Structure 1
């Protein structure tokens, strides 16, 4: 049986702890009895007493369930009274076992003697009650902790999905408008190719789970689809270069991590210049880090403390938040001026490979 499954099952955990505690009680008393060199029959009495304690404390579980939502003061009163009554009853049984079996039918002069040493039994039952409440509170805390973790996980996933799907709607509108124009001028072959690439790109962006990572090959393929679509719009005004080291092509990266950055370059570096420009994507590995770099040769932008200041620009903020959600503090996203002109965005993240199971 899985231990985690056992601990999460309250009923199984109760019977396990309940039985183990009384077995431990019997074992301790047996080891203690060896110091006094009793007759062998004393072992039977020890385990009969432990069994009686095991049996008498079971009803306490159902009593404590009923008073669980009472105020702490009322619960304390119920626990003390119930523990004392069960302790007295248990002590009577223990005395009968001892006198009837070990003392060969001994009878005390006064019936009240059957309850002698009840204080000791009361403290044993009170300890059992403490163990019960402690175990139950532990289970509650674990359940609450699990609920908090699940809630955080759900919120985390929702945040990533929200960030991942913040694609610029203008890209879709511009692409559809370009396709419509191509059809009007009877460039059906180019329009058909553009539709095919658009559908493949959208399928990729919607199918990939934002909580999971994809290989760099897959990510670069999606980015090429996006840039190929844009090249139909900008024609010779857009040039694209891809340089990826061979040992990086199977590395894992967040899906759609480069597309918002490329979209910014299209908007601010290519579309803003009559002559267009070049977008260069470079991927290398340094020690245990994967380095992704996307640079353009546009007019540049204002950069302060590694932050890019552009009106209505959300691509970099989107990418930075996704990286923080996936890698915590183990990443960097740096914006710098490109040489001789333009903007360069460099991303560092852990170098990870897909594990085949």
Structure 2
């Protein structure tokens, strides 16, 4: 099942927006640091030139960071980027100091321009180093998010494949039983019954093959499919099968896994009703109990043998429920007081009609 996804935003474009905001913050911080010395125009001009130079140097710095991110390990890339940032910061400080001396030539005891730039480079390096950290942090964060999304997608695909495998383990059992029953009807020359069974069998196969095991269906849809299956079994068992559905109308629009009710019904017929020589009742009860959806399939045929052992069909049902609901479900097999067997399933009660319409 292919799920359309929104196009991913370009990480560099996202970072550009973040960078512009950081530039604004840096300019603001630089301006606030300059305010106490606003009475010294030369110093103010020095800070303005230094800030503009750092912002201009951030562009080649980002190009180097992008290259290092793609070609080096995180430790080496970060160390190299910070070193390059310091070189740029020192050049920015030296250029700003030279411009300041051009406006206000120093006295005879002034220190060397290159030595004086060492202290000015510290603030510039802090600014450019912050941009380096911001870039690497942002890129590695987006990479981690993409890796997490890929893991989620891979897990979903694996779950879907396993659910389909469980589904295909259930179907052959029913197909072989039905073909064997059709063969018996043809052998005993019950042509009308065989024709009806083949038609019902074709309808049932179409519905099951169209079902998507990875999404819930309405209870009404699953009930319709199960009743179609029971039409096939009625042809095979005749009057020995007495079906008595008891469905709460409030449960019809709730969601449940497809092909969940049918294996429970098939299990009841195979182990409880078919081995019995008398007419047996099959009760199918579906109701909403608060925040739970409760499905019960019971028969008064052959008594359930205790301790209960799960066969292939019920083991696959339990496996599907575990994949879809984790531990938020119950599947209980029991022998009613009057004899026979019963299977009870409890699921979260979740309406899905609105989701389908959307």
Q: TM-score, normalised by structure 2?
A: 0.85
What CA distance in whole angstroms lies between the structure 2 residues aligned with 1:119 and 1:31? 18
Equivalent residue in structure 2 for 1:86, among 85, 88, 101 = 88
Q: What's the offset of the Cα at 1:335?
A: 1.4
What CA distance in whole angstroms lies between the structure 1 residues aligned with 2:300 and 2:191? 32
Query: 2:215 is matched with which residue?
Result: 212
Q: 48-57 or 218-227, which moves further after superposition? A: 48-57
Q: Deviations over 1:222-261 (max 9, x none)?
A: 1111111011111122221111011112221111111111
* 1:127 matches 2:125: no
Map 1:328-343; keep pairs closer than 5 Å. Answer: 328-343=326-341
Q: For the Cα contact (< 8 Å) 1:22–1:53, is it kept in 2?
A: no
Secondary structure of the residue aligned to 2:170 is: coil
Change (3 A) 1:44 1:188: farther
Change (3 A) 1:128 1:39: same
Secondary structure of the residue aligned to 2:146 is: helix
What CA distance in whole angstroms lies between the structure 2 residues aligned with 1:256 and 1:129? 55
Aligned length: 345
Equivalent residue in structure 2 for 1:303, among 294, 301, 306 = 306
Task: Report the aligned-residue RMSD.
Answer: 2.9
What CA distance in whole angstroms lies between the structure 2 residues aligned with 1:237 and 1:262? 15
Specify every segment of 5 or more residues in structure 1 that has no aligned partner in the other structure, as ranges: none
* 1:176 matches 2:144: no
* 1:234 matches 2:237: yes
What CA distance in whole angstroms lies between the structure 2 residues aligned with 1:252 and 1:189? 37
Query: 1:157 is matched with which residue?
Result: 160
What CA distance in whole angstroms lies between the structure 1 residues aligned with 2:202 and 2:320? 24
Query: 2:323 is matched with which residue?
Result: 325
Map 1:1-357; keep pairs closer than 5 Å. Answer: 8-38=9-39, 49-68=50-69, 69-71=71-73, 74-96=76-98, 105-108=103-106, 110-112=112-114, 115-116=117-118, 117-183=120-186, 187-304=190-307, 308-309=308-309, 313-354=311-352, 355=354, 356-357=357-358
Change (3 A) 1:72 1:224: closer
Q: For the Cα contact (< 8 Å) 2:30–2:51, is it kept in 1?
A: no
Q: What's the offset of the Cα at 1:280?
A: 1.0
What CA distance in whole angstroms lies between the structure 1 residues aligned with 2:45 and 2:204? 77
What CA distance in whole angstroms lies between the structure 1 residues aligned with 2:46 and 2:89? 17
Change (3 A) 1:32 1:351: same
What CA distance in whole angstroms lies between the structure 2 residues aligned with 1:190 and 1:136? 68
Q: For the Cα contact (< 8 Å) 2:34–2:47, is it kept in 1?
A: no
Q: What's the offset of the Cα at 1:47?
A: 6.0
Q: What's the offset of the Cα at 1:283?
A: 0.9
Q: For the Cα contact (< 8 Å) 2:273–2:302, is it kept in 1?
A: no
Name the structure with the higher helix share: 2
